[in-house]
Amino acid sequence: MDNEVLEISFQELLQIIRKNLVIIIAVAFTVCFASFFVSQFIIPKTYDSTVKFYVSTTKEGPSASSAQDMSDLTYAQKVVNTYIEMLQTSSFEKQVLDASNVENYVDISFATLNNTEVFQAKISTHDAYESKQVADVLADIAPDVINTLEASATLKVVDPASVASSPSSPNVLLNTIIGLLVGLMLAIGFVFIQEHLDVRIKNEDIIGQKFDLPVLASIPAFNKEYTKKKKKAKKGK
């Protein structure tokens, strides 16, 4: 019994979709186009430029014994995380921005790479060349800053920055697809609610389904074109 109800409900849903297919397609493509337009022409594009550093784990002096007590990998991870914390200070960021002469939006972030002695700095701006410019300045300043804070530290650039060929965000294609799916869901939801709130009796099947009453007789509906033909036929006689 329950399966039958579900089957009927699904059939009704399909009928509603077929009936309002034009509206659903129109709304879906309107939202899709709006999403594409906003992503392509309104949201500022962001370009990333990355530079990778290698951290030498060789240490000299009194702290060398503590380094020997730990495994090389664990020690390397600790040193990398320490250097990242040193470079994530507001004073270092201000030093980089002042040296690069970039006044627009700039975002600088750091991340370790697969638990190795290599970490990455990512610079994001609204201009591909400005991103590389800031990345180059950071690559020049970072080794000196780390060496100033820790004399035995060694920081080398293993992968210099390059100019991004395409923006990292927004993802126009993804946003357009999401807009299309959201438009479809909104349109289907709207027409379904509209049909559900419509309490008019449209055919004799509804009477049997909702009120469990037999249909004794029905009056056919004549459209205007049929009425005009009947009038012309009477005049011709």
pLDDT of residue 212: 65
pLDDT of residue 2: 46
What is the percent of the chain where pLDDT is above 70? 72
pLDDT of residue 116: 83
For 138-172, what is each residue's pLDDT tens digit? 999 999 998 887 777 788 999 999 999 999 999 99
State yes or no: pLDDT of 173 exceeds 90: yes
Of the residues 111, 126, 159, which one is the last residue of a structural domain? 159
Domain count, the chain: 2
Judge if 83 and 33 occupy the same domain. no
Q: Could you tell me the residue range of the domain that residue 106 belongs to? A: 44-159
Judge if 155 and 80 occupy the same domain. yes
> Which residues fall within 8 angstroms of residue 195, CB to CB, at 6 or more apart?
16, 19, 20
Judge if 48 and 35 occupy the same domain. no
Judge if 72 and 60 occupy the same domain. yes
Judge if 55 and 105 occupy the same domain. yes
pLDDT of residue 176: 97
Q: Is 0.75 topped by the overall pTM?
A: no
* Residue 95 in domain: yes
Contact 137, 120 (CB under 8 A): no
Judge if 48 and 151 occupy the same domain. yes
**How sure is the predictor about 79, in pLDDT bands with cuts at 50, 70 and 90?**
confident
pLDDT of residue 137: 96
Judge if 55 and 155 occupy the same domain. yes
Judge if 100 and 88 occupy the same domain. yes
Q: Mean pLDDT: which of 133-147, 193-207, 211-225 is highest?
A: 133-147
Contacts for 227-232: CB closer than 8 Å, 24+ residues apart? none
CATH code assigned at 111: 3.30.70.1130
State yes or no: pLDDT of 119 exceeds 70: yes
Judge if 96 and 145 occupy the same domain. yes
Mean pLDDT of 202-223: 64
* Residue 237 in domain: no
Contacts for 77-80: CB closer than 8 Å, 24+ residues apart? 77/112, 77/115, 79/55, 79/117, 80/55, 80/112, 80/116, 80/117, 80/118, 80/119
Judge if 71 and 133 occupy the same domain. yes
Judge if 28 and 83 occupy the same domain. no
